[in-house]
Amino acid sequence: MKRIDSVLLVDDDEVCNFISVTLLKHLHLSESIHSVTNGNEALRFLKENAVIETATVFPEVIFLDLNMPVMDGFGFLEQLNKTMPAYASVCKIFILTSSESPLDIDRCRRYDIAGYISKPLTEEKLEVVAR
């Protein structure tokens, strides 16, 4: 598997973040892994830690949950799309969720996302991510 420069996990479920972090570390896929617990925090993180449109410091992969308090996954995608319409050229966003609702899947199609992954993250699923 190809290494990933930096990963941002956006999920209010701490255990789920723990699983993803442990897995990524165990597979030595990335050394730079951050996690935040909602869309709002994710936006703040991007603002503070990434010089927008500079691919090197922008997380290469974002795992985004859909159901979160404060700002959910759709809110985050909407805001990101507004401030940085070309986000897909610098980072791959994977929806990582336990929702299998066709409505949610369809709503995601409106945004430029790299894939839809059902929880939990596993080695097989990461193979698609780190291709």
Partner 1 sequence: MDQVSDFFTGLLSAALWPARWYCGTWTDFHGWLYILSSLGICASYFLIPISLFYVFIKRKKDLPFPHLLGLFSLFIFSCGLTHFLDAIVFWIPLYRLHALLLFITAIVSGVTVFYLYKVLPDALTFTSPAQLEKIVAQRTLELAQKNNELIKLNKEMDNFVYSTSHDLKSPINNIAGLANILKMELPQGNASVDDLLLRIESSSSRAIDAIHNLTGILKVHTEPYDDLELIHIQTLVEEIIEENTILVKESQVVIRYELNASNIFFSKTALKSILYNLIINGIKYKSTDRIPEIIVRSFPSVDKTIELHVADNGMGMDLDAYGDKVFCLFKRFHDHIEGSGVGLYSVKKIIENKGGSIAIDSKVNVGSTFKMILPQ
Nearer to partner 1, 84 or 119 (CB): 119
Nearer to partner 1, 20 or 46 (CB): 20
* Helix axes 39-49 and 73-83, enclosed angle (nearest 10): 30
* Binds partner 1 (CB under 8 A): choice among 53, 69, 98, 127: 98
CB neighbourhood size of 14 (10 A)? 10
Say whether residue 100 binds partner 1 (CB under 8 A). yes
* Binds partner 1 (CB under 8 A): choice among 16, 36, 64, 80: 16
Contacts 24+ apart (CB under 8 A), 50-57: 52/83, 52/84, 53/84, 53/86, 53/90, 55/89, 55/90, 55/91, 56/5, 57/6
Binding mask 17-36 for partner 1 (x = CB under 8 A): --xx-xx--x----------
- Asked if residues 97 and 66 have their Cβ atoms less than 8 Å apart, the reply is yes
Q: Which of residues 54-73 bind partner 1 (CB under 8 A)?
A: 67
Residues contacting partner 1: total by CB under 8 A: 18
